Amino acid sequence: MLSNPLIAAERKEERHHFMMKLLCGFTLLLAIAVAYYIYIPLPKTISEPWKLMVLDATFRGVVMMGDVAHSMGLSHRVRVINSAIVNFESLVPITNQEIQIEDILFDGVHVRVYQPPGQDGKLRRAVMFIHGGGWALGAPKLGSYDSLCRQMAADLDAVVVTVDYRMAPDVHFPVQYEECVQAAKHFLRPEVLTKYSVNPERVAVCGDSAGGNLAAAVAQRIGTDNTTTVKFKLQVLVYPVLQALDFNTASYQQNQNVPILYRRLMARFWLEYLGADLKLVHSLMINNHTAQDQSLMSLIRSKLDWTTLLPKRVIKHYKPVFPVTGSLSILKDIPALLDTRAAPLLAEDVVLRMAPRAYIMTGEHDVLRDDGMMYARRLELAGVSVTNEHYEDGFHGCVSFGFWPCYFSVGIRAVQNYIAWLAKHL
Ligand SMILES: *[C@@H]1O[C@H](CO)[C@@H](O)[C@H](O)[C@H]1NC(C)=O
Ligand SMILES: *[C@@H]1O[C@H](CO)[C@@H](O)[C@H](O)[C@H]1NC(C)=O
């Protein structure tokens, strides 16, 4: 065997070069794959688009992990997503540490009560807060929701009660709703308000997203319930979800692919909340459940007719989508789709008239923009005073991203503005 040390050294160098090239190529491919995964085209006016892309990619990754674990029978998809949320929320440092907390039961429902320190005998204002997360996700006592409640308690010098209602997949509609009603009725009892030194004429109910849905439904219920003498003075609904009959409102059409609440995800949350078959998601997305052959719809359609309830400037060029024929069984199989406790937008005017003064926050880049705007209009037509604060750069969930380590300027502004409104009107 001939062995030339020079040739051997050359070969080694060649191999080394080859490995380096391979590594570079691989890194480049990986970078392209990551960028491709993260990059999504976003409207120019949305708040901090790159941050949102990274947040969205993370969220999509978690949802995908949940789906994989679910299909392998390891865990329910919702539990996987929720444990990721809990891990993430645990990173958020606790703010306003002077606020005292108490975890207790209100009529069997878990709540946390936040109270500012010092009590000079004068009565305080109060806010009942109901967190969002598609009736399935969210950790009210951790991270961003905890920070939000502490901030409300501190800035408003108010007692804040956050409802830790049970969620899907453990429970479905109407349990989430009933637990919020129970907690509200308990809190509004005169002796309970006295215990916390709360002025019964200055109590608000507030919620974001699915929590805005529950807050609106609770506000309707308390407004019409003649067994509760104390009523809410105000309701604050932050990008609330209010109906599941039209997944093709102008905002659903415009924002169906805008993170982080994609139309498909919202339809899935609804089906999970109502305990229905997730396979129906596509039928819902094309409004097959409310097609023109649904006789039931003729009575209801006007309550969510966005062509008349919304201003022209937000409708733009969008047209209603109602197929001529659809899937007749869906509304019969899932009657909760028509239940005002699940879909407060469907309430009658006589119910709306009894509802408290409202602040409704909406975002331009949110599938739920029109749910909120239609409700604002219907409340107004029923004679309720409404402030609709609309953010041109707002996206769904931004209020939960007003806190370190993940904040967006629109989230910070939105939190400040709604608390300022409460400070003025509560
Ligand atoms: C309470 O409300 C119900 C319907 O919501 C009504 O039928 C009933 O008469 C009311 N009771 C009183 C005492 O007003
Ligand atoms: C929608 O309804 C039409 C008419 O009944 C039916 O042919 C179609 O399969 C349905 N689509 C979905 C996704 O349910």
Taking the domains of the chain in order of start, what are their residue ranges? 90-244+338-425
* Cβ burial 25-61 (10 Å sphere, 16+ → b, else e): eeeeeeeeeeeeebeeebeeebbbbeebbebbbebbe
Residues with CB under 6 A from ligand 2: 282-283, 288, 325-327
Question: What tens digit of pLDDT does each residue of 83-120 get?
Answer: 988 888 888 889 999 999 999 999 999 999 999 998 77
Q: Tokens in use for 294?
A: 């649904």
> How far is residue 272's CA from residue 56's CA, in Å, rounded to a whole number?
21
Ligand 1 site residues, Cβ closer than 6 angstroms: 224, 226
Residue with the nearest Cα to atom 13 of ligand 2? Answer: 283
| For ligand 2, atom 7: residue with the closest CA | 326
- Mark whether 146 is an active-site residue: no
- Residue 322 in contact with residue 306, Cβ under 8 Å? no
226 CA → ligand 1 middle, Å: 6
Question: 221 C-alpha vs ligand 1 centroid, how far in Å?
Answer: 13
Q: Which two tokens stand for residue 120?
A: 């000079």
**Whether the predicted pLDDT of 3 surpasses 70:** no
**370, exposed or middle or buried, with CB in 10 Å at 0-12, 13-18, 19+?**
buried
269 alpha carbon to ligand 2 midpoint, in Å?
A: 21
Q: How many CB atoms lie within 10 A of CB 165?
A: 24
**Dihedral, CA atoms, 134, 93, 148, 146, nearest 10 degrees?**
60
d(Cα 150, Cα 403) in Å, to the nearest integer?
12
Q: What is the pLDDT of residue 88?
A: 86
39: pLDDT confidence band, cut at 50, 70 and 90?
confident
pLDDT per position as a tens digit, 188-234: 999 999 999 999 999 999 999 999 999 999 999 999 999 999 999 99
Centre of ligand 1 to C-alpha 227, Å, is 9
Residue 158 pairs with which residues in a beta bridge?
Answer: 125
CATH class of 90-244+338-425: alpha beta
End-to-end CA distance of the chain: 94
Whether 385 is a known active-site residue: answer no
289 is catalytic: no
- Characterize the bridge pairing of strands 386-395 and 402-403: unpaired
Residue nearest to atom 3 of ligand 1 (CA): 226
> Which ligand has the shortest distance to the CA of 221?
1
Q: What is the pLDDT of residue 29?
A: 75
